[in-house]
C-alpha cells in the first residue's frame, strides 16, 4: 500500500486561520468599462483553446492533492498551439521552491520536447486546473505525476494520430524532439500539426486515457539540474511580483489596524483624512481603509485617522507567560500518562518539558495584492499558496459567484507556509470597490510581523522509561498547541503513545515550513539525548539501538560517518561540542550533525559546522534540491537560535527586522550536504523536511559544550 | 505627486536618463522609482533600512532607497537594477547570479546584485570575509546565502580559486 504522503491521489490539507471579513456597507460597483480579459505576456490559451475549463467533464480527479480536483482531460492540462507553442497549466504556485522548473521538467520529459519549449502557466484561476494548495510538499508527489500523466497522454495521442494517418503500427513510431517519427518512411508529425487535427482535438477534450510514463532509466530532463526558467527576469528586475503589478489609474491603499490584539473600534473620525485632496476613505464595520494616488499619501491619510481613533482594549496574554497559558488553556486539560504504571515499574525513567516560541515566516515580500473591478467582476493579483481557496475567500466576502472572481498569482517573494489565506486580496478589493479604481495594497513589514499567520508555539511533555538493558520500555509524548505532525516516535519502544492537544491560541495560527514536525522533532531528539545519557550510552549508539534498518537509519549512518561522529564526539574541548538529530517528515528522511562554540562570557552560541544527510527518493532536480536543503538549514537556524515573537498587552514588541533577527550572511556555518538519490523510490517533496533536524542537533551540541540542557526554541544556555 | 499641495518639480538622473517628477520631496526614493517611474525592480522589504531589498546606487555607492528622501537624490547619478545590464549583455554580477542559480524566490535578488556591484566597484577582489561584511545588510529569507556568496566569487573571478 502506498503511504499517504506518497499517494498521488491522496488528500492532504493544512489548517490556518482565515480573517473573515463581513462587509455590511453598501458596496456599489462604479465601473462601467468593458471587461477586457487580462492575460499574462503573450499568453493566448484562454482565447484559442477549445477546451476551456468550464467544459471539463465533472467528477473524477487526477493528482490534485491538497483539495484540488486536478485535470481530467489533456486539454485542461496543456494547450498545443498551431504555431508549435506548448503551454502547460497548473494550479501550483512558484514562491522560490522551484516548482516552475520541476513541473516544466515533468512536462518536457513526457512530451519528449526540449524544456525550453514549455511555457508553464501557474495559478491563474481562470486558466488552470485546481491542483490544490502549494503546501505539504505535495507538488512533487502529486502534481509532478499529474502533469506527467497528462503529457504522456498527449504524447501517445501524437503517436496514435500519426500511426492512423500513415496506416502503420504505433509501435513502429518513436516520439523524440517534439515529433512522432516513422523512420522506415522518414515521415514526422509534430505537436503543432496535431493541434490542427480534428479528431485529436476531440480526444484532447475527453477524459485522458492512461498512458505509460517514461521510466527513470530513460529520463532525459527529469533528474537533471534544469535552471529556473525565468531566471533572467529575476536578475534583471523585470519579473513583476504581486507587489509590482500595475494597472491604469492604479491607487495605493492602506488599512487601519487595531492598536492591540482583539481591540474594538469605538469611535473614529474620517473627516481629517477625507479633507486631503485625492484621498478616498472607506469604513465598513470595523474595516477602515484609505486610497490615494501614492503610498505615502495613503499612509499620511491613515495616520490622521489612527491618531483620533478610540479603541476598547482587550486583555491578552504575554509571551513571557506563554508556556503556562497554553498549558492551562489546553482543551480538555493536559492528559496524564496512560503508561504511568510502566514508568513506575521501570529500571529508570525520565520526564521533561520542551517549549517552542511563536515565530513569523517574514517572507521578503510582505502580503500584497492589486485588485480591479470591471462590470461586477473582480480580478486580484496576489501572493498566496492557495489560489482557489483565496478565490473562494474573495468571492465570499463580496457575495460573488466564483466565476466572477479571478485570482492570479505571479511568482511571488516567499511563502514558507505563511501565505495560505487571502485577507490582503479582500482588503484591496474592498478599497478598489469603493474607489472605482484598481488598488494596490502592500502590507508593511510591521503589519506582516503582527497580523500574518504565525507558526504555533508548542509546549511538549515527554516521559519515557528504560529497562535494565537501557532500552526504551515506554514512551509518552504530548504536544500542546502546535500540531500532530510526525508526533509518533520512529524509535522502537515496548509501548509508545503520543498525542496532540489543542489550546486556546493567543495568536493567529498558520502553517510554516515543516509545520509542527519541527517542534515534535525538537522535543523527541533532545529527549533521546537525555535518555542516552541516563542509559550511559552514546547518543548515536542509543538511537541505532532503537532504529530498524531503513531509510531513517541510512541517513543517520551517512551523516555521522561523513561528520566523523565517533571521534569528534569524544573530543573534550571547553565551550565546544557536537550534537546530532534525525527525523522524518512528508515521506523524506534527514539527519544532521553540528558543531557549536559557546562563548563562556556571553553564552552566545555559534553554529560552526552542519553536516546533513537527506533522502527524498528519486531526485528530480539536484541543483534545486541542494539549494532547498541549504536554505532550509540556514532558515532553521533562526528559530533555533534567535527568532521569537515577543508580545505584551496585545502588542507585538519586536515587529521589525531590527528586533526580530533572522539569519544573515554572517550566520552561515560550514555546510556539508549529502543527498542520497534513490531511483528505486518515488520522489517526495523536499522543501520542508531538511529544516527539522538542525535545532535539536544544536541543542544537543550545546549540552556537549556546556554540560547544560537547553529545552527551549530559541535555544538559550540555561544558567548553571 | 498629484493630490498634494506641497509638490515640487525634481529632475532625477536614473539609469542614464533625465526623468522629471513632480512630487512631495519627502517621499522616499523607493516610492518614486516604483510608483512614478514604474521601475519596480527595486523592492520594498522593510522600510527600515534593514533588509537591503531597496538597494540602489547613488554616485556608485549603495544606498537604501526606502530611507532616502527623493529630494536628496536630485542631481545625483542613480542606477537601479534596471540600469545594471548593458542593452545586449548582463552585468557580470547578474550573469554570475544566473549561472549559480543564486536565488529562490528572487525578491531580494535585485538588492543583492546592486550591493554586490557596489562592493566590486570599490574592491574588485574581495575576500570571503569582505563579501560577507559588505553583503550582511541584505536579507534573503529563502537563505540562498551560500549560492549568492558563490555568485559574488564568480563575478570577481574567484570561483576557480575557491573550488580548487
Mind listing the pLDDT tens digit for each residue in A231-240?
999 999 999 9
Burial A30-49 (b: 16+ CB within 10 A, else e): ebeeeeeeebeeebebbeeb
Which site among B14, B105, B149, B153 would you substitute to test the A interface, given the most A Cβ atoms closer than 10 Å to its Cβ? B105
Can you say whether the dihedral through the CA atoms of A647, A648, A650, A655 is positive or negative? negative
* Range of lowest pLDDT (A46-55, A199-208, A483-492, A572-581): A46-55
Q: Which three cell numbers stand for residue A554?
A: 541510512
Distance between CA atoms of residues A300 and A294, nearest Å: 10
Contact status, residue A256 vs residue A431, Cβ threshold 8 Å: no
Q: Is A628 on the interface with B (CB under 8 A)?
A: yes
Judging contacts by C-beta atoms under 8 Å, the chain A residues touching residue B84 are: 236-237
3-state helix vs strand vs coil in chain A, percent to 5: 35, 20, 45
Q: Which residues of B touch A244 (CB under 8 A)?
A: 34, 40
Task: Name the minimum distance, in Å, from the CA of B147 to any CA of chain A.
Answer: 8
Q: Residue with C-alpha cell 485625492?
A: A278
Q: Is A296 on the interface with B (CB under 8 A)?
A: yes
| B90 contact residues in A (CB cutoff 8 A) | 232, 235-236
Confidence tier at A24 by pLDDT (50, 70, 90): confident
Q: State how far residue A562 is from chain B, nearest Cα, in angstroms.
A: 19
* Residue A671: Cβ within 10 Å count: 16
Give yes or no for residue A1 having a pLDDT over 50. Answer: no
A665–B145 CB contact, under 8 Å: yes
The band of A8, judged by pLDDT with boundaries at 50, 70 and 90, is: low
pLDDT (tens digit per residue) in A448-479: 999 999 999 999 999 999 999 999 999 999 99
| CB atoms B31 and A232 under 8 Å | no
Contact A445 B28 (CB under 8 A): no
CB nearest B38 (choices: A246, A414, A624): A246
- Residue A391's pLDDT is 96
C-alpha cell at A102: 520541476
Instruction: Tell if the CB–CB gap between B97 and A96 is shorter than 8 Å.
Output: no
- Chain A hits for B40, CB-CB cut-off 8 Å, are 237, 240-241, 243-244, 246
pLDDT at A152: 96
Q: Which of residues 89 through 118 in chain A touch B, CB cutoff 8 A?
A: 95-98
> How deeply is A536 buried, as exposed, middle or buried, from its count of CB atoms within 10 A (0-12, 13-18, 19+)?
exposed
Residue of B nearest to A275 (CA): B3
pLDDT interval class at A60 (50, 70, 90): very low
- Pick from B46, B80, B98: which is nearest to A231 by CB? B98
Residue-level pLDDT at A37: 33
Mean pLDDT in residue range A119-136: 94
Chain segment A140-170, per-residue pLDDT in tens = 999 999 999 999 999 999 999 999 999 999 9
Question: Are A364 and B43 inside 8 Å of each other by CB?
Answer: yes
Residue B123: all three cell numbers together: 574592491
Give mean pLDDT, residues A509-534: 97
Distance from CA of B52 to the nearest CA of A (A): 10
The residue with greater pLDDT, A54 or A688, is A688
Task: Report pLDDT digits (tens) over B104-148.
Answer: 999 999 999 999 999 999 999 999 999 999 999 999 999 999 999
Question: Rounded mean pLDDT of chain A?
Answer: 92
Compute the nearest-CA separation of B124 from chain A (Å).
20
pLDDT at position A61: 34
Output the DSSP codes for B103-135.
-SS-SSHHHHHHHHHHHHHH-SS--HHHHHHHH
Q: How far apart are CA A123 and CA A129, in angstroms?
A: 8
Rounded to a whole number of angstroms, the distance from the CA of A631 to the nearest CA of chain B is: 5
The residue with cell 484621498 is A279
- How high is the pLDDT of residue A44? 28
CA distances from A416 to A14, A147, A231, A235 (A): 13, 23, 20, 22
Nearest-Cα distance to chain A for B16, in Å, is 16
* Nearest CA-CA distance, residue A491 and chain B, Å: 32
Query: Which residue among B24, B53, B135 sits closest to A364, beta carbon to beta carbon?
Result: B53
Average pLDDT of the residues in B50-79:
98
To 10 degrees, what angle do helices A694-706 and A517-534 make? 30
Exposed, middle or buried, A616 (CB in 10 Å: 0-12/13-18/19+)? Answer: buried
Cβ neighbours around B74 below 10 Å, total: 17
Q: Given an 8 Å threshold on Cβ–Cβ distance, is B46 in contact with A631?
A: no
Chain A nearest C-alpha distance from B85 (Å): 7
pLDDT tens-digit profile of B4-48?
458 999 999 999 999 999 999 999 999 999 999 999 999 999 999
In this prediction, residue A359 carries a pLDDT of 98
Instruction: Decide: A364 and A413 in contact? Cβ < 8 Å.
Output: yes
Instruction: State in Å, rounded, how far the first CA of chain B is from the last one.
Output: 55
Cβ within 8 Å, pair B141-A252: no
Contacts of A297 in chain B (CB under 8 A): 1, 3-4, 24
* Three-state helix/strand/coil letters over A462-487: EEEEECCCCCEEEEEEEEECCCCCCC
Q: In chain A, whose CA is at the least distance from the CA of B144? A: A631
**Mean pLDDT for the stretch of residues A5-27:** 71
On whether any CB of chain B is under 8 Å from the CB of A278, the answer is yes
Q: Name the residue among A650, A649, A641, A633 with its Cα closest to residue A689.
A: A633
The band of A6, judged by pLDDT with boundaries at 50, 70 and 90, is: low
- What is the tens place of the pLDDT at every residue in A171-211? 999 999 999 999 999 999 999 999 999 999 888 888 888 89
Calculate the alpha carbon distances from A370 to A107, A459, A481, B60 in Å: 31, 39, 35, 33
Contact B113 A235 (CB under 8 A): yes
Whether the predicted pLDDT of A715 surpasses 60: yes
Angstroms from A66 CA to nearest CA on chain B: 22
| Grid cell in block for residue B68 | 532616502
Separation of alpha carbons A44 and A23, rounded Å: 36
Among B30, B142, B147, B151, pick the best mutation site for testing chain A contact (most A Cβ within 10 A).
Answer: B142
Chain B residues close to A657, C-beta within 8 Å:
46, 48, 50-51, 139
Return the pLDDT at A46. Answer: 27
Which member of A232, A297, A633 has the closest CB to residue B4?
A297
- Is the CB of residue A511 less than 8 Å from the CB of residue A95? no
Could you tell me how many helices (H) and strands (E) chain B has, helices first?
6, 5
Taking only the tens place, the pLDDT of each residue in A105-122 is: 999 999 999 999 999 999
Nearest by CB: B47 against A292, A444, A671: A444
Residue B159: band (very low, low, confident or very high) from pLDDT cuts 50, 70, 90: confident
Which one of B3, B65, B104 makes the best mutation probe of the A interface by having the most chain A beta carbons within 10 Å?
Answer: B104
Asked if A302 and A274 touch (Cβ cutoff 8 Å), the reply is: no
Q: How far is B75 from chain A (nearest CA, A)?
A: 23
Average pLDDT on A52-61 reads 34
Question: Mean pLDDT over residues A219-238, rounded?
Answer: 98
Rounded Cα–Cα distance for residues A97 and B109 (Å) = 15
Contact yes or no for B45 and A362 at CB 8 A: no
The answer, yes or no, to whether residue A688 has pLDDT greater than 90, is yes
Integer Cα distance of A201 and A5 in angstroms: 35
DSSP output for A282-336:
EEETTEEEEEESSHHHHHHHHHHHHHH-EEE------GGGHHHHHHHT-TT-PPP
Percent of chain A with pLDDT over 70: 92
Task: Say yes or no for a CB contact (<8 Å) between B142 and A658.
Answer: no
ipTM over 0.90: yes
Amino acid at each position: 500500500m502506498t503511504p499517504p504522503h506518497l499517494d498521488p491521489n491522496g488528500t492532504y490539507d493544512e489548517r490556518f486561520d482565515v480573517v473573515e471579513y463581513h462587509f455590511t456597507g453598501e458596496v456599489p460597483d462604479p465601473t462601467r468599462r468593458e471587461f477586457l480579459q487580462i492575460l499574462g505576456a503573450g499568453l493566448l490559451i484562454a482565447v484559442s483553446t477549445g477546451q476551456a475549463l468550464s467544459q471539463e467533464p465533472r467528477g473524477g480527479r487526477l493528482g490534485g492533492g491538497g483539495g484540488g480536483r486536478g485535470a481530467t482531460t489533456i486539454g485542461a492540462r496543456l494547450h498545443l498551439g498551431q504555431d508549435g507553442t506548448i503551454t502547460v497549466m497548473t494550479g501550483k504556485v512558484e514562491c522560490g521552491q522551484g516548482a516552475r522548473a520541476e513541473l516544466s521538467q515533468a512536462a518536457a520529459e513526457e512530451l519528449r520536447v526540449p524544456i525550453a519549449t514549455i511555457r508553464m502557466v501557474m495559478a491563474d484561476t481562470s486558466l488552470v486546473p485546481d491542483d490544490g494548495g502549494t503546501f505539504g510538499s505535495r507538488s512533487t508527489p502529486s502534481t509532478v505525476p499529474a502533469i506527467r500523466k497528462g503529457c504522456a497522454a498527449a504524447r501517445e495521442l501524437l503517436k496514435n494520430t500519426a500511426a492512423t494517418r500513415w496506416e502503420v503500427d504505433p509501435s513502429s513510431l518513436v516520439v523524440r524532439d517534439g515529433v512522432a517519427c516513422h523512420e522506415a518512411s522518414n515521415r514526422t508529425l509534430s505537436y503543432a500539426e496535431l493541434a490542427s487535427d480534428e479528431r485529436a482535438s476531440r480526444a484532447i477534450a475527453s477524459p485522458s486515457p492512461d498512458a505509460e510514463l517514461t521510466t527513470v532509466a530513460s529520463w532525459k530532463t527529469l533528474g537533471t539540474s534544469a535552471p529556473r526558467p525565468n531566471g533572467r527576469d529575476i536578475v534583471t528586475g523585470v519579473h513583476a511580483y504581486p507587489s509590482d503589478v500595475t494597472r491604469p489609474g492604479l491607487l495605493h491603499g492602506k488599512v487601519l489596524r487595531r492598536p492591540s490584539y482583539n481591540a474594538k473600534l469605538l469611535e473614529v473620525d474620517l473627516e481629517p483624512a477625507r479633507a486631503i485632496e485625492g484621498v478616498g476613505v472607506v469604513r465598513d464595520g470595523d474595516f477602515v481603509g484609505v486610497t490615494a494616488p501614492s503610498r505615502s499619501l495613503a499612509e499620511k491619510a491613515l495616520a490622521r485617522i489612527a491618531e483620533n481613533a478610540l479603541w476598547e482594549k482587550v486583555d491578552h496574554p504575554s509571551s513571557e507567560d506563554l508556556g503556562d497559558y497554553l498549558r492551562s488553556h489546553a482543551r480538555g486539560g493536559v492528559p496524564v500518562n496512560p503508561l504511568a504504571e510502566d514508568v513506575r515499574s521501570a529500571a529508570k525513567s525520565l520526564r521533561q518539558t520542551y517549549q517552542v516560541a511563536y515565530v513569523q515566516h517574514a517572507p521578503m515580500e510582505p502580503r500584497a495584492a492589486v485588485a480591479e473591478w470591471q462590470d461586477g467582476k473582480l480580478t486580484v493579483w496576489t501572493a498566496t499558496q492557495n489560489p482557489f481557496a483565496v478565490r473562494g475567500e474573495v468571492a465570499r466576502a463580496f457575495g460573488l459567484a466564483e466565476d466572477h472572481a479571478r485570482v492570479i498569482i505571479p511568482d511571488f517573494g516567499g511563502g514558507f507556509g505563511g501565505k495560505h489565506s487571502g485577507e490582503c486580496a479582500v482588503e484591496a478589493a474592498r478599497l478598489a470597490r469603493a474607489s472605482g479604481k484598481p488598488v494596490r495594497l502592500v502590507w508593511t513589514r510591521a503589519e506582516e510581523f503582527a497580523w500574518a499567520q504565525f507558526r504555533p508555539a508548542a509546549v511538549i511533555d515527554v516521559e519515557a522509561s528504560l529497562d535494565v538493558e537501557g532500552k526504551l520500555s515506554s514512551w509518552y509524548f504530548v504536544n500542546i498547541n502546535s500540531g500532530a505532525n510526525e508526533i509518533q516516535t520512529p524509535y522502537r519502544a515496548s509501548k509508545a503513545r503520543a498525542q496532540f492537544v489543542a489550546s486556546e491560541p493567543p495568536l493567529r495560527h498558520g502553517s510554516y515550513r515543516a509545520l509542527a514536525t519541527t517542534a515534535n522533532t525538537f522535543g523527541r531528539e533532545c529527549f533521546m539525548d537525555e535518555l542516552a545519557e541516563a542509559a550511559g550510552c552514546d547518543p548515536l549508539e542509543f538511537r541505532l539501538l532503537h532504529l530498524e534498518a531503513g531509510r531513517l537509519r541510512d541517513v543517520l549512518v551517512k551523516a555521522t560517518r561523513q561528520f566523523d561522529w565517533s571521534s569528534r564526539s569524544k573530543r573534550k574541548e571547553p565551550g565546544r561540542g557536537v550534537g546530532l538529530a534525525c527525523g522524518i517528515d512528508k515521506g523524506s528522511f534527514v539527519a544532521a550533525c553540528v558543531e557549536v562554540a559557546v562563548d563562556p562570557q556571553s553564552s552566545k552560541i555559534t553554529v560552526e559546522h552542519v553536516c546533513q544527510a537527506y533522502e527524498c527518493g528519486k531526485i528530480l532536480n539536484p541543483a534545486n534540491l541542494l539549494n532547498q536543503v541549504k536554505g532550509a538549514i540556514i532558515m532553521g537556524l533562526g528559530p533555533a537560535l534567535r527568532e521569537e515573537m515577543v508580545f505584551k498587552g496585545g502588542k507585538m514588541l519586536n515587529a521589525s527586522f531590527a528586533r526580530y533577527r533572522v539569519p544573515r550572511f554572517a550566520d552561515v556555518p560550514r555546510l556539508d550536504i549529502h543527498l542520497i538519490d534513490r531511483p528505486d523510490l518515488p520522489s517526495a517533496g523536499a522543501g520542508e523536511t531538511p529544516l527539522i533536524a538542525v535545532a535539536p542537533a544544536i541543542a544537543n551540541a550545546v549540552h556537549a559544550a556546556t554540560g547544560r540542557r537547553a529545552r527551549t526554541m530559541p535555544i538559550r544556555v540555561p544558567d548553571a | 505627486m498629484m493630490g498634494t499641495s506641497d509638490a515640487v518639480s525634481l529632475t532625477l538622473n536614473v539609469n542614464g536618463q533625465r526623468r522629471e517628477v513632480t512630487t512631495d520631496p519627502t517621499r522616499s526614493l523607493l516610492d518614486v522609482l516604483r510608483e512614478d517611474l514604474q521601475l519596480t525592480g527595486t523592492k520594498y522589504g522593510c522600510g527600515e533600512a534593514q533588509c537591503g531589498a531597496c538597494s540602489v546606487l547613488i554616485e556608485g555607492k549603495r544606498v537604501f532607497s526606502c530611507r532616502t528622501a527623493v529630494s536628496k537624490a536630485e542631481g545625483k547619478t542613480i542606477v537601479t537594477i534596471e540600469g545594471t545590464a548593458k542593452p545586449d549583455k548582463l552585468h557580470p554580477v547578474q550573469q554570475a547570479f544566473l549561472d549559480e542559480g543564486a536565488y529562490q524566490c528572487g525578491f531580494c535578488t535585485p538588492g543583492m546584485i546592486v550591493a554586490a556591484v557596489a562592493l566590486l566597484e570599490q574592491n574588485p577582489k574581495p575576500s570571503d570575509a569582505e563579501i560577507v561584511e559588505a553583503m550582511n545588510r541584505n536579507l534573503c529569507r529563502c537563505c540562498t546565502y551560500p549560492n549568492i556568496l558563490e555568485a559574488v566569487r564568480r563575478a570577481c573571478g574567484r570561483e576557480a580559486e575557491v573550488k580548487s
